[in-house]
A = this chain, B = another copy of it.
Amino acid sequence: MTEEQLAMTAKALAHPARVRIVRLLAAQSECRGHDVFAGLPLAQSTISQHLRVLKSAGVIRSHAVGTSMVYCLNKPVLEEFLCALGEIASDAATCDPEQGDDR
């Protein structure tokens, strides 16, 4: 995974409202738009925007059901992201103590 791709996915997750959405979707598998809108203390238009960000990063997917939308996590994308980061982390030696921060 390139640095751009990693950064893109991270950016999609870089806002509390979006993390919340991801958690909602994880908790209930498929989730109607109304439930998402009701699950956050934000205007509908704002949430719609967050959904778009998540979707264009590939973190979630959506499809219409009747008159409304259903959103769900795109698990593979999330997993690939975790995997790529995990590899980086496991490469790292556990840079020991020397404890404090200086300067």
Contact = CB atoms under 8 A, between A and B. Distances in A.
Contacts of A61: 95, 101
A88 B10 contact: no
Nearest to A88: B26
A17 to B, nearest CB: 8
A55 interface: yes
A36 B18 CA distance: 31
B73 A89 contact: yes
A92 B73 contact: yes
A85 interface: yes
Interface in A59-98: 61-64, 69, 72-75, 78-79, 81-82, 85-86, 88-89, 91-95, 98
Contacts of A100: 63
14 contacts: A3-B20, A4-B16, A6-B13, A14-B14, A22-B88, A26-B89, A26-B91, A29-B92, A55-B101, A62-B103, A63-B102, A69-B103, A79-B89, A81-B85
